[in-house]
Chains A and B, each alone.
Chain A
Amino acid sequence: MYLKHALRAATALTFVATAAAHAQTITIATVNNGDMIRMQGYTDKFTEETGIDVEWVTLEENVLRQRVTTDISTKGGQFDIMTIGMYETPIWGANGWLVPLDGMSEEYDVDDLLPAMAGGLSHDGTLYAAPFYGESSMIMYRTDLMEKAGLEMPEAPTWQFIREAAAAMTDRDNDINGICLRGKAGWGEGGAFITVTGNSFGARWFDENWKPQFDQPEWKEALTFFVDMMNESGPAGYATNGFNENLSLFQQGKCGMWIDATVAASFVTNPDDSTVADKVGFALAPNSEGVDKRANWLWAWALAIPAGTQQEDAAKQFIEWATSKDYIELVAENEGWANVPPGARTSLYENPNYKDVPFANMTLESILMADPQNCCAQPTPYTGIQFVAIPEFAGIATQVSQEFSAVYAGQQTVDEALAKAQAFTAEEMEAAGY
């Protein structure tokens, strides 16, 4: 009799436990881009495998940043997984706001993550976010226009060559601009581009004592070069052009060259959207003659678990699934190798199938060349290439990029903008206690 009751109770408990397992739901905040949306489409497979339901909160990048920062800093607990970048991860990791991603399974093969990515998403050697996809920046150029100009793109060109090629490819009568680059204000938009341009001219944001460096000749040279080249060969109104505006121009055949995120390569070579899909070549981002740092950045969109979540195990399970080798295989099988999330795992670039993708090698080379611990030709006290990994940076860089955009729009001179940038940055850093 007792045994019967015990069995009944055990069965009931099993049902309850199973139902509870099936009812488990994790909430993920993420950005709206092709790879993330694709992942959402495969979420059912994860649910089938684990019984864990997934709720997505998809937001525009800047809205997402504000939203998750508010939530994590107040311990709001709205999300079990957050999509964050290389800028936030080390800062939040250091604050104890993220769950360390140690103890991942053997099959996950954490050592397969590209060292540059794993390094940029760690603090004190602990991984706090798993890279879903990574990117650097590189040159995308029109092979037909380059040929018409009688030039040949080296694999690793200098800024001086780029300026010469841009002038030769510019054809104002046919609405073709030799070069399209970001000028839009915002630390992640034009601010990121002018920072890496500065790096490639030997400039840096701060010296070893956190003193701003906008009053140094390298910044003046970089900014003057950029403005002169864009005035000669860039599109009208480039001061308001960001990634999307340049992507649109390039896809319409209105740019000879475009230097931007490596993920753009899959867009410009997609014949469904791009009118120049079969005429695109790739090269490393340029440097100024005599400077050994190139104008390429390093970024990753990564998945992290906020400390205090009630669903840590389920969240870890999802991160293992979404950033695994198997997930890459799943996407390749269904949508082709050109559509797999790039830039996160070494094994992807060893895969013979992926090597056939035209931009794969240049993407990897660009990523490997970027070193967040050693961004600049001169020593710096910070990590990060197109950003400085301190909490104050986003606010300061947004203001500085606004000053630079005003130069691009012809509203002030290079000297005026640099003087304002120097004064503002010095004031903010002093106020922050540096």
Chain B
Amino acid sequence: MARAVTTRRKSLNTILAWVIGLLIFFPILWTILTSFKTEAQAIASPPLFLNFDWTLENYAIVQERSDYMRFLWNSVIIAGGSTILGVIIAVPAAWAMAFVPSKRTKDILLWMLSTKMLPAVGVLYPIYLLFIRLGLLDTRGGLVVVLMLINLPIIVWMLYTYFREIPGEILEAARMDGATLKEEILYVLTPMAIPGIASTVLLNFILAWNEAFWTLNLTAVDAAPLTAFIASYSSPEGLFFAKLSAASTMAIAPILILGWFSQKQLVRGLTFGAVK
């Protein structure tokens, strides 16, 4: 009897999880569906779900109007570069905070996180002026640095949380075996924290991929990533929903595929240390 109840509860949980999952996914699904409609079908009332004449016209128009591959390549470089640079800086920082904490470690962590609370537009002008001086406007290098700095608090926090789960005795043993600090971090700590580092990398790659304030404001032509590509199809005066949806689908497709293949690592990393 008890077993039957458990099975029923399991089924209910599964159904509930699917319903919530579908609800969260619905806007993306709707965007994908709209991208295959004509502009008239996109605004039809009542909305058309699957019963419309599917067309690839919007993709053809978007492809003709914009150099998708240039935007995509810029997104890959900017998101990838800022993530890698962030991890390189954050691993030693998180190591220090996790294994040799000081009295102020908690305060420093909180202070780092508090920088995320500052509205980005508040520092737009200073950063813009700095970029002009340094010749970094509309360069991928400049954006890599800015996005790395923006995401650094999250990277440090995540890695700090993962590192704290690793027993300090293992590192101590490595030290006693003669490992230098560099070797300790590279050959002992990093391999043990791979799931955590992987999920940190993935999450920050997604955050950098989706970042739409700095990438729009600090780029023009050469370094414009996919966020600028999408913004070029949005209009308050004219109905371009189908084309905008096609552009959005093309922009999120790479990250959806990446997320799909790495979901195991992502979930594992995010729940790492949640249950002891």
Contact = CB atoms under 8 A, between A and B. Distances in A.
Q: Which of A27, A60, A71 has the most chain B CB within a 10 Å cutoff?
A: A60
B236 A34 contact: no
Interface in B13-34: none
B43 interface: yes
A337 B102 CA distance: 74
Contact of A32 (B40, B217, B234): B234
B220 A78 contact: yes
A67 B239 contact: no
Given A32-B240, A74-B129, A78-B220, A58 B40 contact: no
A60 B39 CA distance: 18
B178 interface: no
Interface string A32-71: 1110010010000000000000010111111100110011
Contacts of A203: none
A243 B240 CA distance: 13
Contacts of B234: 32, 60, 63
Interface stretch (A244-252, A366-374, A382-390): A244-252
Interface in B116-157: 124-125, 128-129, 132, 137-138
Interface residues of B, number: 29
A32 B45 CA distance: 25
Given A188-B236, A248-B239, A76 B128 contact: yes
Contact of B43 (A74, A251, A263): A251
B231 interface: yes
B115 interface: no
Interface string A186-213: 0011000000000000000000000000
B44 A32 contact: no
Nearest to A243: B237
Interface in B223-276: 224, 228, 231-240
Q: Which of A55, A59, A77 has the most chain B CB within a 10 Å cutoff?
A: A59
B216 interface: yes
B221 interface: yes
A27 B237 contact: no
A79 B220 contact: yes
Given A32-B234, A33-B237, A76-B137, A273 B220 contact: no
Given A33-B238, A188-B236, A243-B236, A57 B220 contact: yes
Given A32-B232, A63-B231, A78 B240 contact: no
A60 B128 CA distance: 20
Interface string A269-294: 00011000000000000000000000
Contact of B231 (A59, A77, A244, A261): A59
Contact of B125 (A33, A70, A247): A70
B40 A273 contact: yes
B65 A59 contact: no
A58 B224 CA distance: 11
Given A57-B220, A67-B216, A70-B124, A247 B239 contact: yes
A254 B242 CA distance: 21
A29 interface: yes
A34 B235 CA distance: 10
Contacts of A74: 125, 128-129, 132
A391 B217 CA distance: 20
Contacts of B228: 57, 59
Contacts of B124: 70
Q: Which of B228, B231, B238 has the most chain A CB within a 10 Å cutoff?
A: B238
A178 interface: no
A189 to B, nearest CB: 7
Interface string A15-33: 0000000000001010111
B235 A75 contact: no
Contacts of B235: 31-33, 60-61, 244
Interface in A230-270: 242-244, 247-248, 251-252, 254, 261, 263, 267
Contact of B216 (A32, A63, A254, A267): A63
Nearest to A299: B237
B138 A78 contact: yes
Contacts of A62: 236
Contacts of B239: 244, 247-248, 251, 267, 273
B220 A29 contact: yes
20 contacts: A31-B235, A32-B232, A34-B238, A40-B65, A55-B221, A57-B220, A58-B232, A61-B235, A61-B236, A62-B236, A67-B216, A74-B128, A76-B132, A78-B138, A188-B236, A244-B238, A247-B238, A247-B239, A251-B239, A261-B237
